[in-house]
Each structure stands twice: as C-alpha cells, then as structure tokens.
C-alpha cells in the first residue's frame, strides 16, 4: 500500500514545519520525534558503528515497539524503545535538539 500526500498548488495534506514534535500524554514515541542513542545502544555492534552517542536522529516510521530512525549522518535503522525493557533509542529533551540540516 502506498500513501500519497498532496503538497503545493492549493492542495496541502502536509504542513512543513521546523518545530520539534511534541507527544500527546501517554505516548512514548511518534513519527517526527528527535531521538538519540539510548541506554541499551550497543555502540560496538555493526548497526551502531557510524553513530556516536552525541548523534541525533528523527523517527521516520514507528512500529509497536521499534522505530525506524534517520540519523544525522544519513544512516537509517530500526531500534527498540521499550521492547523487552530495552531502549536502544530515547527521546531528546527540547534543550538539546539541534537542526538536522545544519
């Protein structure tokens, strides 16, 4: 299934914004949230080899307990945020959010 969104020419299904994503009460993760490596990130594993603890990313797809993240360096991957008590990623606090385009 492919979803198509209109953008421009008088038809806007998507609004472009630079504002950080805020979660609704009771939510733990959502598309658009900025994340960083979490307490269970195994920095020596191959999936983490190009990602530093200071790196931030954006959730671009969310499953029930895993999220697909695009990192500042362009790498992408799936990471847990609560599955079996593991947190490979965690939300960035608003005070440390940087622009991914800078």
Q: What is the pLDDT of residues 75-99, one digit of tens each?
A: 898 999 988 888 999 998 764 455 4
The answer regarding whether domain 34-95 maps to CATH 2.30.30.40 reads yes
Mean per-residue pLDDT over the chain, rounded: 79
Residue 53 has pLDDT above 80, yes or no: no
Here the tokens at position 78 are 């799936």
Residue with tokens 């790498």: 75
DSSP 8-state secondary structure symbol assigned to residue 58: E
Of 66, 71, 67, 80, the C-alpha closest to 50 is 71
Of 83, 79, 86, 84, the C-alpha closest to 36 is 79
Query: Is the overall model pTM greater than 0.75, yes or no?
Result: no
Residue 69 has a CB neighbour count (10 Å cut-off) of 27
């Amino acid at each position: 299934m492919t979803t198509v969104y209109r953008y421009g020419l008088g038809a806007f299904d998507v609004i472009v914004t630079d504002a950080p994503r805020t979660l609704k009460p009771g939510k733990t993760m959502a598309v658009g949230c900025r994340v960083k490596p979490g307490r269970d990130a195994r920095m020596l594993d191959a999936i983490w080899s190009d990602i530093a603890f200071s790196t931030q990313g954006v959730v671009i797809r969310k499953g029930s307990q895993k999220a697909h993240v695009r990192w500042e360096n362009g790498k992408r991957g799936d990471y847990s945020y609560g599955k079996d008590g593991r947190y490979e990623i965690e939300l960035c606090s608003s005070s440390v959010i940087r622009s991914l385009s800078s």
